[in-house]
Structure 1
Amino acid sequence: PFLELVNAIKAALTPTPTPPPASGSPMAVPAKFASEATECSGFLLQVNLYIQMQPQQFPSEKSKVAFLTSLLTGKALQWAKAIWNANNPIINSYDLCLAQLPVHSTSDQLFRLRQGSTEVNEYTLHFRTLAAASGWNEIALLGAYRQGLNPEIRAAMAIYDDSIGLESFLQRTTRVAQQLAACQPTVTAPQSASVVASSPVPEPMQVDSTRLSRSERNRRISQGLCLYCGQPGHLLRNCPIRPPRPVVSTILSDIETAKLTLLSATLHTSNRSLPVSALIDSGSSGNFISTKCLKELHLPRHRHHQIYSVTTIQGKPLGRGVVRYSSPFITLQIGLFHHEDLRFLVLEDSTVDIILGRPWLQVHQPEIRWDPCDIIRWSQKCSTQCMSLLPHPRSIHTTVASTQIESPEPVFMPEIPAEYRAYQDVFSKLAATQLPPHRPWDCAIDLLPGAQLPKGRIYPLSIPQRQAMENYITEALNQGFIRPSTSPAASSFFFVGKKDGGLRPCIDYRQLNSQIIQQPYPLPLVPAALEELRGSQVFTKLDLRSAYNLVRIREGDEWKTAFIAPTGHYEYLVMPYGLSVSPSVFQTFMNEVFREFLHRFVVVYIDDILIYSRNMAEHRQHVQQVLQKLRQHQLYLKLEKCEFHKSSVQFLGYNINSEGVLMDQGKVDAIQNWPQPDSIKALQRFLGFANFYRRFIKDYSSIIAPLTSLLRGKPRHLTWDPAAHEAFQHIKKLFSTAPLLHHPDPNLPFTVEADASTTGVGAVLSQAVGESSILHPCAFSRKLSPAEQNYDVGNRELLAIKLALEEWRHWLEGAVHPFTIITDHKNLQYLRDAKRLNPRQARWALFFTRFRFTITYRPGSKNIPADALSRQTSADLHTDSEPIIPPHLI
């Protein structure tokens, strides 16, 4: 193929092998081109000029392409070989060939550009060349330049943010690099060390004068001899052969110019804690502590093995200018969770508490926000070595109260079962405080057309609230969950009290929620979900930590979550609590994560996960599969709220075991002790609480009708009457005797008992369990609408049956066995003779054809479970030729 290409090029050029130039001066053949972006424009200019000035050489488009191909090398030539071998149509079009000529893009080269072993000046020159052709904005260019610098220079330049501009940053980088080069090496070994190795005469003294014996030292002092060399005529400080002290320098001109780099920290010993200001100095060769801090901590100082001179970059002494001592190990705490044991060099007469220099920065690689100085994010190494799950005891009080930002772990943590210790990272509280990645299920906030942005207000805060607010904002910034905002939106920030007396931070998103396009994704129906547990013997309950904060806000929507607080204007990068779309977004996310496990051995309701299995061996595999999914998607669990390998578990307000579902005893006790409501709100709260368990109570709607009637017409005051009092006491009694709801078994026949009254309908779904003939019921009830209350008795009975079949359609439609509907004799007589009289009944008849059932009767005196009411059939009904229910089913 290559020879064919060569022949094609020769053939294209043969008509005019060496023609004279058409006009003007002779043209030189352009140099070879290998696809470098910086050379491309010049190369093409030369080629085009050559072709224009020698038109007789290029009678066809193909000859121009052949000439261009002859000048290519490297990857560009490989591309040309491919198109010639394939006889690609572009070989017949010079312009099309130019358009597709492979060129290493300037953007790619900027991304890959690194200083490496070159000098900063050379690196900057190369950068300027690429930048001129890139078309990037100044912020992007500055980020690329900063990223390409060598680590020590990049660390030194970290004190400058992007606001100083690209040109200023480039110039300052050059000056800083020169300053660093001037003071390298920053810590040097004494020159005498090399002299000792090559000299047969032992050196009279090393740097530390205490290595002289006491008698020798006294002798030299009494005779006026030098303490270093032992010779007369000069003192130790002027000894001509004494090697210079190692120099520890700081890049800062003086401490006062570094106010923006002061970071709040705490030093801890076994019995004391001391808040300090830490100076972040990327040019310092060491970590220093002031003598004042050592005294306040009641710590000793130890003579260091070497004496250092400490100067600024201008050569001025820092403090006393000499370091002779080091500290013992001290616990340094930054934020709530970052702890480390650190030894410092002791700096006398220092005006700053501690200095964290380049050695500390190189170890921890923190991401720093410089104005005001704060650590935004720690390195991955810190996540495993420095970030403690148990904050120092003296720092625990700073987490006043917050649901979004986790409080410290309790001192006594439950133990992870041995089978799941390999997944210990899934239970990491620290990992849950890291900014999660963007995923396909990020929280999207789509606003209605013409939406009005929220304009919140700043609420006055008490001293405890202000402290809690500052702690919350600081932690959220450190974790990367929020950032300063310039958004035109601003929701309000305030606190509400918690039951334990703490404070819960809240963002008032009501106005924003009213402007959001709501997502229609439904939450699971809890009763239906629990029906999947049939046959399960072992249960594990898992609870996600900081659930909503594990989901990112869709990129570009962060500004819509902005809120204002006394300390500033911020916006969320993670999904906050209080957004109306949060539950549906998180449920969508969880369903996608566990899609292959749902309806098999996992039930998920937002952040609550229930794993169910038939035996222990199967259950361990199921739990491990779930933990692996959580790890894969970077989701984390709250260990203290997880329960493993249980035969009975509390889940979503129910007590679940291998036999069935019970009401949570704690909630039953709450209903038993509920005082009689004395206001409309109090009655609404009781009914809302009781409605949760309505399926345990037969004819629930009819029983509470006297209570719900008190709310009719939106009254301003509650008028309590004897009927309401009786209903209130009756429903409380029924809650104390509610039955166990067994898990339905589709392989066993069902029984439906339906009943209707003038105010409501009720039904019971039952199933015999085991060899016993006892029916285990599940209740359904509904209050009749005003129009339905006008139905005659027979139509209300028929409506009760229809509503019962709709409620349990997922079990009754397509059931293995025909099910039985029980009613009393009068209803049976009506159903046998009833005809389709109107369109509504015609629709009912069509609905009944979807089920296989038989209707039987139980005399009213024996129909205790259904509690049938007396019925009366209207006599003035018109008949039709076709019955509502076929006679053979009755």
Structure 2
Amino acid sequence: MDPAHTASPELRLERVENILQRHEALFASTAAEVRQATVTQQQAAANQEQTLAALASQIQQLTAVLSQNMVQNLPATAPAAVLQPTPPGPVSEPQIGAPERYAGNPEICNPFITNCSILFALQPHTFASEEAKVAFTINHLTGRARLWGTAEWNVKLLLAAPSETSLLSSGRARQSKWNTEAQCDAYLQGLEEYVKDELVSYDLPATLDELIELTRRVDRRIQARREERRRGRFRHPLPTQFRAVPERNASVIKDTTYVCTVDKTDTSSPGVQQKPGLTSSKACTGGSHSLAVFIDSGANVSIINEELAQQLEIERVPLPQPVPANALDGHLLGTVTHQTVPVQMLLSGNHHETIMFHILDSLRIPLILEYPWLRRHNPHIDWATGAILGWSSACHQVCLKQASAPQSRPCTTLAPDLMGVPPEYHDFREVFSKAKATSLPPHRPYDCAIDLLPGTSPPRGRLYSLSAPERKAMEDYSNDSLAAGIIRPSSSPAGAGFFFVDKKDKSLRPCIDYRGLNDITMKNRYPLPLISSAFEVLEGATIFTKLDLRNAYHLRIREGDEWKTAFNTPTGHYEYLVMPFGLTNAPAVFQALVNDVLRDMLNKHVFVYLDDILIFSKTKEDHIHHVQGVLQRLLENLLFVKAEKCEFHAPSVSFLGYIVGQGSIQMDPAKVSAVTAWPVPDSRKQLQRFLGFANFYRCFIRVYSTVAAPLTALTSSKVPFSWSSAATYAFQTLKNRFTSAPILRMPDPKRQFVVEVDASDVGVGAVLSQLATDDQKLHPCTFFS
């Protein structure tokens, strides 16, 4: 028996009290420990807040110090390693691990700052300077935080002296992501006081590149004056336009000459005789004067020699106030009191512009073009040959677009031929202009992008040999395209093959083999409209106009992608600025453009398939209004129409292989003739071509699939190609069906349809018909099989 059961109640109660006392003591101890832990945690949080506040204050102080001190000769990017620590002193420093790199996550920003602060505090000799701390911190940034830190570091380069500012400064400033005004302010802040004083008399440029160039030129002039005072007067000072510029001027162009043609601008009234020896800008042959022009990046204005101005009999006008002409050393060479009237200058064969020159009597070189001219036109120069390879995008819009044609060809600009265009649309004559259609279009959101698959590059194609007529056609095409700014010389590693194919009129069509480029181009999946969908919206239309766009795919290549379109010819390597035929994404890009241009008109009174536009209306009055709206919209978007291929106000028109008219659709007779004249195929490929052509019109042929079944079986590669009597019968039957095919009626969704279906083990066929209101008979709308 258990003694506990035999104990007295008093003893058992004493035991219970002892157990309760031990529990109370344990609870009291636990509560004390919890209170102590809470106090410790609160003290740690307060200490951390104090540490963060102190660190934030240090960062603010460091930023203030760095913004006041001018930092020179800093590297282009944040240093890739910690700055060399100060040689260790007698006190050893604890070695602790570097903090993990910070990528910009706000949640771990404070721990990163704390870890850096602890490291700086425990290793004061290693991080003895503020620059060392900044460098270490930036070096341990990554991702977005690294971009910010690099920008802060790079922008200090803008504080360098003008003579020490490299050509990369503007690029680094752009990498900082600061706006232009902030970049210019930072640059001006770091300039020497003597440069700032000189800049007071100038109108400061709006861009950083121009500001850097202006300060460098001012600094060079000041340095030259100091040199003059040190060495005394030069015995034979040269004009600033001919002086050798110090080596620190990395952008100077020395002894660069090009042949140009100078004509006087036609400012006279009609019928007034031009001065002898000078040619009006409207003439193509005559007294144009060719000479060498000197391009000098140190000159401020364009200058012409007094003797040349007299020889050309160029009229002159006085300047509002005389302008002193100074040498590089500051010596006064003379005073310019007159400038020329506007003259036409043709440079490098196809660069046409109007320009005015200051006239200087002591000039030893006939013609000088100044630095603002270089900045404005930005010519791309091959320094090995001295040839100008290209011009700025602004030149392609203006100067090259207005380039003179070769003298062997007439340059008379003909008005658009409006024969066949109704008088209601003569106010839109510009939309029919061939000259405007061949000019370089502007960049816009619909530029053709050529995005390559990852890890690929355009292949270099073969160089095709050309016959004598083809070489002549190639030279004409290259010269005309260069003059129009459509192509330009290229140094691209890509190069597709260039060849010709014959047109129907026996002329030559240039072709470029872009198959290799298309294979590695990411496809634009913008859809082309279904041709059958056009018939659904024509119900009720009684009058039609068809427009054919001129130079349909005349859109710009996306800037930066031009090199991918490069092609080889026997006489040169070129690349396109506009979208050429043959690019895989060309149809999708152009369809997207015309759809957006005519978006509010589509399927109401307009249907567009690439460069073919069909306008349809129920009344002539509405139709004229609709056509005028389309022409206006095309002109506003620099899309032009080929008048000679248009049809206006017709009861029926040929459109995409069909003849569409009032309530009816039929096959194009020209296409039917091609089918009926098709010879008997003697190979599987020829049979596939025939069936492909015939399939286009299968909606006109009753039980087409059943009739064509023997021919379709021969297209399979699993059976030998053996022409049989069944194939002959099917071939001739299809031809007969084409010649006797009915005219389909346009379906009217408001009226009742009749569907006839016939099915067998071989296939199924159906006819969709409607009861006509004119003769109360069923007429087919379409066939299905």
Q: How do residues 403-552 of structure 1 correspond to structure 2 at under 5 angstroms?
A: 412=417, 414=419, 417-428=422-433, 429-430=435-436, 432-439=438-445, 441-451=446-456, 453-552=458-557
Corresponding letter in the other structure for 1:770: T
Give distance in 2, aligned partners of 1:511 and 1:776.
49
Q: CA deviation at 1:535?
A: 0.8
**Residues 131 and 141 in structure 1, CA contact (< 8 A), matched pair in contact too:** no
1:135 aligns with 2:151: no
1:640-789 matches, cutoff 5 A: 640-713=644-717, 719-757=722-760, 759-782=762-785
The residue type equivalent to 1:577 in the other structure is F
User: Which residue identity is paired with 2:776?
Assistant: S
Query: Unpaired runs of 5+ in structure 1?
Result: 1-37, 46-104, 110-122, 154-161, 180-248, 295-300, 307-312, 315-329, 345-351, 398-407, 783-890
Check the 8 A contact 1:744/1:767 in 2, yes or no: yes
- Distance apart, 1:542 and its partner CA: 1.9
Could you say if the C-alpha distance between residues 714 and 479 of structure 1 is closer, same or farther in structure 2, counting changes exceeding 3 Å?
Answer: farther
Say how many residue pairs are matched.
555
Which of 580, 585, 609 lines up with 1:605 in the alignment?
609
Question: Is 1:587 the equivalent of 2:607?
Answer: no
Is 1:624 aligned with 2:620? no
CA displacement at 1:768 relative to structure 2: 1.7
Q: Which amino acid in 2 is paired with 1:681?
A: K
Q: 2:67 aligns with which of 3, 22, 41?
A: 41
Instruction: For residue 533 of structure 1, give the secondary structure of its aligned residue in structure 2.
Output: coil
Query: Aligned partners of 1:167, 1:617: CA distance in 2, in Å?
Result: 62
Stretch moving more, 523-532 or 542-551: 542-551
1:645 to 1:274, Cα distance in 2 relative to 1, 3 A: farther
Distance 2:728 2:291 in 1: 68
Q: CA deviation at 1:605?
A: 0.8
How far apart are 1:623 and its partner, in Å?
2.2
Q: What is the CA-CA distance between 1:532 and the residue it aligns to?
A: 0.8
CA contact 1:766–1:778 (8 Å) conserved in 2:
yes
8 A contact 1:432–1:550 mirrored in 2: no
Distance 1:340 1:522, change over 3 A: closer
> What SS class does the counterpart of residue 436 from structure 1 fall into?
coil
**Is the CA contact 2:463–2:569 (under 8 Å) kept in the aligned structure 1?**
yes
Q: Deviations over 1:19-74 (max 9, x none)?
A: xxxxxxxxxxxxxxxxxxx99933999xxxxxxxxxxxxxxxxxxxxxxxxxxxxx
CA contact (8 A) 1:281 1:356 kept: yes
Contact 1:766 1:776 in 2 (8 A): yes
1:536 CA displacement = 0.9
- For the structure 1 residues 396 and 289, does the alpha-carbon distance in structure 2 shift closer, same or farther, using more than 3 Å as the test? farther
Counterpart of 1:637? 641
Tell whether 2:395 aligns with 1:395: no
Q: Distance in 1 between matches of 2:562 and 2:424?
A: 40
Kindly state the Cα deviation for residue 609 of structure 1 after the two structures are TM-superposed: 1.4
Answer yes or no: is 1:261 the counterpart of 2:258.
Answer: yes
Q: Tell me, yes or no, if the aligned pair for 1:760 and 1:781 is still in contact at 8 Å.
A: no
Distance of 2:260 and 2:705 partners within structure 1: 63
Aligned mates of 1:574, 1:394 — CA distance in 2? 27
Give the equivalent residue in structure 1 for 2:388: 373
Q: Sort the Cα spacing of 1:531 and 1:302 in 2 relative to 1 into closer, same or farther, 3 A.
A: same
Alignment-mate amino acid for residue 754 of structure 2: T
Higher relative contact order by CA 8 Å / sep ≥ 6: 1 or 2? 2
Letter of the 1:436 counterpart: P
Residue by residue over 1:538-566, the C-alpha shift from the partner in whole angstroms, topping out at 9 and shown as x without a partner, is 2222222222232543x444444344444
Aligned twin of 1:821: none
Report Cα offsets for 1:595-627 as digits up to 9, x if no partner: 222221111111211111111222222223323
SS class of match (2:736) = helix
Q: 1:252-291, aligned counterparts within 5 Å?
A: 261-262=258-259, 279=292
Distance 1:542 1:529, change over 3 A: same
The code of the aligned residue for 1:496 comes to V
Write the distance in 1 (CA, Å) between the matches of 2:719 and 2:289.
61
**1:343-382 CA-partner distances (Å, limit 9, x unpaired):** x9xxxxxxx9x98989xx89xx867444423674797999
Name structure 2 gaps, 5 residues minimum.
1-63, 72-150, 156-160, 185-198, 203-208, 225-238, 244-253, 264-278, 296-300, 318-325, 328-342, 358-364
Distance 1:303 1:669, change over 3 A: same
Q: Within 2, Cα distance between the matches of 1:130 and 1:731?
A: 72
Q: Which residue of 2 aligns with 1:6?
A: none
| Residue 596 (structure 1) aligns with | 600
> Deviations for 1:433-483, whole angstroms, at most 9, x for unmatched residues?
2232130x4433343344464232323333443443344344444444444
> Residue type matched to 1:41 in 2?
S
Provide the TM-score with structure 1 as the length reference. 0.49
**1:778-801: CA deviations, max 9, x gaps?**
34344xxxxxxxxxxxxxxxxxxx
Contact preservation (8 Å) 1:383, 1:431: no
Check conservation: 1:487, 1:559, Cα contact below 8 A: yes
SS state at 2:781 partner: strand
- 3-state SS of paired residue (1:544): strand
Alpha-carbon distance in 2 for matches of 1:685, 1:476:
36
What is the distance in 2 between the residues matched to 1:418 and 1:127? Answer: 63
Q: Give the alignment's Cα RMSD to 1 decimal.
A: 6.2
3-state SS, counterpart of residue 493 of structure 1: strand
Asked if the contact 2:700/2:741 (under 8 Å) is kept, the reply is yes
CA contact (8 A) 1:366 1:375 kept: no
Post-superposition Cα deviations, 1:697-741, rounded to whole Å, max 9, x if no partner, equal: 11222222232333232678x543333333322222222222222
User: How far does residue 696 in structure 1 lie from its aligned partner after superposition?
Assistant: 1.3
Aligned residue type for 1:578: G
1:100-179 equivalent positions in 2, closer than 5 A: 135-136=173-174
Structure 2: distance between partners of 1:368 and 1:415? 44
Change (3 A) 1:367 1:170: same
Note the alpha carbon deviations across 1:81-131, whole angstroms, 9 max, x for none: xxxxxxxxxxxxxxxxxxxxxxxx99xx9xxxxxxxxxxxxx979999996
Q: Distance in 1 between matches of 2:616 and 2:653?
A: 11
Residue type at the aligned position of 2:745: H
User: 2:440, 2:578 within 8 Å by CA — same for their partners in 1?
Assistant: no
CA distance in 2 between counterparts of 1:41 and 1:727 reads 89
Change (3 A) 1:593 1:667: same
**Residue by residue, what CA displacement relative to the aligned partner does 1:161-192 show, whole Å, maximum 9, x if unpaired?**
x9xx999998789999999xxxxxxxxxxxxx
Q: 1:41 to 1:355 in 2, by over 3 A?
A: closer
In 2, are the aligned partners of 1:492 and 1:563 still within 8 Å (CA)? yes
